Amino acid sequence: MQLTFLASFSILAGFVRAGTVVWSGSFNSYATPADFERWSWANQTGTYQWYIHGSQPASHYLALSPDYKNPAHTSEQRGLKLTIDSGATWNSQMERAELIPQTTANLGTGTLYYHFSVKHTNNNPPDSTFEHQIVFFESHFTEFKYGVGPRPTNLVWMVMGQEKWSTPFTADTWFNFAYEINFSSLNVGLWASTGASPLTKVVNNVPASTYTNSADFHVGVLRIGNTPAPEDWFFSNVYIEDGPITTDQGSGSPPTTTIPTTPRPPTDPTITTRGPMQTLYGQCGGSGWSGPTACASGLRCVAVSPPYYYQCQ
Ligand SMILES: *[C@@H]1O[C@H](CO)[C@@H](O)[C@H](O)[C@H]1NC(C)=O
Ligand SMILES: *[C@@H]1O[C@H](CO)[C@@H](O)[C@H](O)[C@H]1NC(C)=O
């Protein structure tokens, strides 16, 4: 009896999460792609905003399945397959599909660990002749790239546009990462592992202009260039925690705990939206702007006085 108790206690202890989850991007609450479309400017529901994509329905770009997660993430019910193609063209020279957090939590304070896992297969693999930006912030102070530099088939971790680490992006392997971002001392480090292995720190923190408006952590991919060939990217175990870092992959996805603070509406005027359309000479972006960022048909969102004021013309 005593032994049984001790054994089960130690198993549970192994699953204890180290930090507090400040935002969970678990796909457990998204059973179908249509669930992402419930989010709108009028009804900012769910844990993700979904408005950076092409004109097709969410099911054209997103798919959910238990087959799409890292099997090590035992409490994730499913992972995400994200597809980019010529139907996801933005600003004529980029193809992109991204999810960003919908939360009132402050995702840019103290030291936070931004966790995600990424994979590709040999079906619709990424094309290394094009630059890709993967899981980035709007200012790109840190991100992964693919299709760049002397080893274009590597996943390359960048800080302020400089390569800091890279690994061959082999098919059918889950790559687990956490960006360790210290918003107080303005630096960022990288934790990494593959498969079910625990994360280890692979790059010590280096200086960076760490900043997020708490709605610009782009979970997805931007491909620079126009090509019709679709690419499938898989994502799993997305969450942001306060330290100390949880290195274990086996503990699965976190509970959907959030710490509400000040609401931070999205302010990026450059991304396409499917929400309400702004009319001629109406504001479509700028610091603090939380209204529509899409312009009515035939109009463009013009940077009249960046970064403060953008207008539909
Ligand atoms: C907002 O979205 C939620 C979740 O989809 C839904 O239950 C609710 O009815 C919506 N509210 C409005 C005002 O549409
Ligand atoms: C973040 O930076 C601050 C200020 O330099 C430091 O006191 C703190 O220990 C750092 N946090 C972590 C987790 O390293």
pLDDT digits (tens, 9 = 90+) for 198-210: 999 999 999 999 9
Q: Which of the four pLDDT bands, split at 50, 70 and 90, describes residue 175?
A: very high
Considering only 17-26, 107-116, 139-148, which range has the smallest mean pLDDT? 17-26
Domain boundaries, the chain: 19-242, 277-312
Q: What is the pLDDT of residue 307?
A: 65
CB neighbour class for 187 (10 Å; exposed up to 12, middle 13-18, buried from 19): middle
Predicted TM-score (pTM) of the model is: 0.79
Q: How many whole angstroms from 73 Cα to the centroid of ligand 2?
A: 29
Q: Is 154 left (phi over 0), alpha (psi -120 to 50) or beta?
A: beta
CATH of 19-242, one of 3.30.310.80, 2.40.50.140, 2.60.120.1160, 3.40.50.720: 2.60.120.1160
Q: 25-75, pLDDT tens digit by residue? A: 999 999 999 999 999 889 999 999 998 888 889 999 999 999 999 999 998
175 CA distance to ligand 1 middle (Å): 35
pLDDT tens-digit readout, 233-287: 999 999 999 989 999 997 544 444 443 334 444 444 344 334 567 788 888 777 6
Amino acid at 198: P
For residues 267 and 286, the answer to whether their CB atoms sit within 8 Å is: yes
189-200 in b/e form (b: 16+ CB < 10 A) is bbbbbbeeeebe
C-beta 184 within 6 A of ligand 2 = yes
Contact status, residue 83 vs residue 124, Cβ threshold 8 Å: yes
Q: Which atom of ligand 1 is found nearest the CA of 35?
A: 5
Most ligand 1 atoms within 8 A of CB, residue of 45, 48, 49 to mutate: 45
Q: For residue 109, give Cα distances in angstroms to 241, 243, 278.
A: 11, 12, 32
Residue ranges of alpha helices (H) inside the chain are 2-14, 58-61
